[in-house]
Amino acid sequence: MTFITISEVGPRDGLQSIKPVMPLEAKKAWIAAEAACGIPEIEVGSFVPPSLLPQMADTAELVRFARGIEGLNVVALVPNAKGAARAIEAGVHGFSAPFSQSETHSIRNVRKTHAQMLESIAEMGAMAKEAGVHFAVGLATAFGCTIEGAVSEAVVVRNAVASIEAGAMELSLSDTTGYADPAQVKRLVRAVRAEVGDKLTTLHLHNTRGLGLANALAGLEEGITTLDASLGGLGGCPYAPGASGNLVTEDLVLMLNAMGLNTGIDLEKLLKVRAILADALPDEPLYGFTPDAGVMLDYNERIAK
């Protein structure tokens, strides 16, 4: 049975784009509860200046807490070498850096051109190698940008290759703005994998226009093995206007489990974790069809096959 890794990004991507700051103890309860459901990897936060994103000020403490959970892969986002140093010091298993394929978005998001970002990736790659930490690069806005519009596939492929050459160990394609469609996902995954092979493992998808699950399935059909998702669909990019709506973890788990794919995740337990978010963030909407509709009557028979 094929194993598909679901990486929960809600504690980072979900919380960075909302105004309330989720209490530290609630974050810990969320992370622990999801790990207990079988979620194998959680992006617990990002190492950015607290003045820019106060929601992420406690990331180092969350890393230390999450490292105490047996079997959980603890990762974080870093924007630059300073963030990478903090992530390594905190004890992450791995960190990722966002590399926006829209240069305008890159400048707004991390204040770097493409050339400057590749220099930064080389620096972070060397740091990761020395520390024995996994280093991934997320090719953000790979499917389109709310600032520039269409993004050249040739640019994405070129930057993917350059990122690996600079020291990235793994790549993801990110639909930061919810622009992707299934045909585009298939085309771009094929194009990038033709150059970097199985170093492209991951899709980070948003459900902004309702195509998240369709795009996830398209990626799986092209050999993608890891999918990012956020509990309750929390999230978006604060520097990309209109980029709301992460792929809903609960709906993704339902689809994959029902298809007979192995996620290792207990969906019924996962649905109960939403209560932690609802209590800690009472004014934030939570999304997802599965929590409202429930599982199919024959769900257990489907996942047993």
Is residue 69 within 8 A of residue 41, CB to CB? The reply is no
DSSP of 185-249: HHHHHHHHHHHHGGGEEEEE-B-TTS-HHHHHHHHHHTT--EEEEBGGG--B-TTSTT-B-BPBH
CB 137 within 8 A of CB 96: yes
Start-to-end C-alpha separation, the chain: 9
Q: Residue 37 catalytic?
A: no
- By the 8 A CB rule, do 177 and 208 touch? yes
How far apart (Å, rounded) are the C-alpha atoms in residues 192 and 204? 15
Strand partners, 8: 42, 229
Contacts of residue 221, defined as CB under 8 A and 6 or more positions apart, other chains included, come to 186
> 232 and 16 in contact (C-beta within 8 Å)?
no
Q: Torsion angle of alpha carbons 191, 196, 197, 198, nearest 10°? A: -110
* Helices H / strands E in the chain, number of each: 12, 8
Q: Considering 127, 237, 273, 281, which one is annotated as catalytic?
A: 237
Q: What is the DSSP letter of 86?
A: H
> Which backbone phi and psi does 19 adopt, to 5 degrees?
-75, -40
Hey, which residues are catalytic here?
237
